[in-house]
Amino acid sequence: MFSLYDGHMDAGKKLYHETEKGRGAPSNTVSQRFNLQDRQIDGDWLDEKAQIGESASKLRTDVTIECPKSIINYNTSPDLPFDRSINAYRGCEHGCVYCFARPTHAYHDLSPGLDFESKLFAKPNAADLLRQTFAKPNYRPASLAIGTNTDPYQPIEKRYRITRQILEVMLETRHPVVITTKSNRVIDDRDLLTQLALKQLTAVAISVTTLDPVTARLLEPRAPTPARRLEAVQQLSQAGIHVHVNIAPVVPGITDHEIESIVSAAAESGARSVSFIPLRLPHEVAPLFEQWLETYYPDRKSKVMSIVRQMRGGRRNDPAFHSRMRGQGPWADLIRTRLAIASRKAGLGKAKITLRTDLFQRPQIAGSQLELF
């Protein structure tokens, strides 16, 4: 079986010599969907840092405070098991090169490349907005997803604690919530999650893309190692929390050979179910990913992209409902079959999470008329 340790140690060297150290995107260029100008890594904002003595070779994380007027995003997608979600942050410091959320940074006149993982936005008023929304007489509870766009437990959560504040509101109001993350920092909130789980109000989905730490460092440079994620699965499971492992994404020709190993490791760590999502390359993610392949796996680039096109109807990305999260064709069918067989052997159940909504308690807002009763 191929191992990155055996044949591609030169790729590890390139990580520190030809790309921005510790970052995922090979560049900061953008497409012209919005007539934006390309941003190179020696742009004005890096020049400013250099003037105060910071090296331009060390791309620092910059956080902008955002104060939105609403916090819940609603969707009608038939591909998603939820109709509402919250994102505490925009951009993600984990720097996963394949992240389908990268193109959203273009709406801020920022690059989906290095800007996405270094110029972040935080929403410290998220919990207050959520409480106000829940207090409205016409609000009806349903499972609310956290982390479906950018990771709620990326490194800046340690400083801002916005995700924890949101969970405190969930516990206060007895509202169901599902968390998606690839970080073991979710353990920091085990106390709240345990209390929610006792009332059948929460579940946690942890993404494990690969078990190989070298491959993980190239794909997800600032995310916790696979071993730490599996430790989080084990600790949450032992606390009585429903934990699901999502192999997302499966990267053909790079990580697809690990499907059975990941399923086995997930089961051994206490996960109740497992699923997968084939690689998605919307908008600017496609050229960034191809640059990444050229940097680290030039010998496999054509093979990888050929398989991607076979799973995406001949294109680099398929945005259509029903097929975008599942893929199509023989390759996607093969991955589904392998996952089903591996799950059955490991004794894992179907990826179905049912949470209670009947316990919901509408919060009281200071100064509202509800305080009179």
pLDDT by residue (tens digit) across 25-66? 776 765 555 555 554 433 333 334 444 444 444 678 999 999
Looking at residue 34, what is its pLDDT? 53
Q: Please report, rounded to a whole number, the percentage of residues in the chain having pLDDT higher than 90.
A: 75
Q: In the predicted model, what is the mean pLDDT of the chain?
A: 87
Q: Determine the average pLDDT of the residues in 354-364.
A: 96
Sorting pLDDT into bands at 50, 70 and 90, what band is 105? very high
More reliable by pLDDT, 188 or 22: 188
For range 292-304, the mean pLDDT: 97
For range 59-78, the mean pLDDT: 93
Per-residue pLDDT at 39: 45
DSSP state of 133: H
Confidence tier at 365 by pLDDT (50, 70, 90):
confident
3-state secondary structure of 340: helix
| Count of positions (residues) in the chain | 373
The CA distance from 74 to 77, in Å, is: 9
For residue 33, report the phi and psi dihedrals to the nearest 5 degrees. -55, -35
Alpha helices in 52-177 (DSSP H): 114-118, 126-135, 157-160, 162-173
Superfamily assignment of 28-359 in CATH? Aldolase class I (3.20.20.70)
pLDDT at residue 94 is higher than 80? yes
Least confident of 79-88, 137-146, 238-247: 79-88
Mean pLDDT of 188-215: 98
Q: How far is CA 308 from CA 16, 31, 197, 208, in A?
A: 28, 20, 38, 20
If one counts every other C-beta atom within 10 angstroms of the C-beta of residue 65, the result is 10
pLDDT classification of 352: cutoffs 50, 70, 90: confident
Question: What pLDDT was estimated at residue 108?
Answer: 87
Is the pLDDT assigned to residue 16 strictly greater than 50? no
Contacts of residue 279, defined as CB under 8 A and 6 or more positions apart, other chains included, come to: 98, 249, 250, 251, 252, 289, 308, 311
Tokens at residue 311, please?
Answer: 């799973």
pLDDT exceeds cutoff 60 at 3 = no
Alpha carbon distances (Å) from 7 to 2, 3, 10, 200? 8, 7, 8, 47
pLDDT of residue 35: 54
Using the predicted structure, report yes or no on whether residue 319 has a pLDDT greater than 80. yes
Q: Residue 21's pLDDT band (boundaries 50, 70, 90)? A: low
| Strand 177-181 versus strand 144-146 pairing type | parallel
The one-letter amino acid code at 214 reads V
Confidence band, pLDDT 50/70/90 cuts, at residue 270: very high
Adjacent-strand bridge partners of 245: 206, 274
Residue 368 has a pLDDT of: 57
Tokens of 157: 């959560």
Nearest-CA neighbor of 119 among 78, 156, 172?
A: 156
pTM of the model: 0.85
> Per-residue confidence at 79, pLDDT binned at 50, 70, 90?
confident
* Rounded Cα–Cα distance for residues 197 and 186 (Å): 14
Distance CA 301, CA 342 (A): 28
**Residue 206, pLDDT score:** 98
Q: Select the more confidently predicted residue: 270 or 55.
A: 270
The residue ranking higher by pLDDT, 159 or 37, is 159
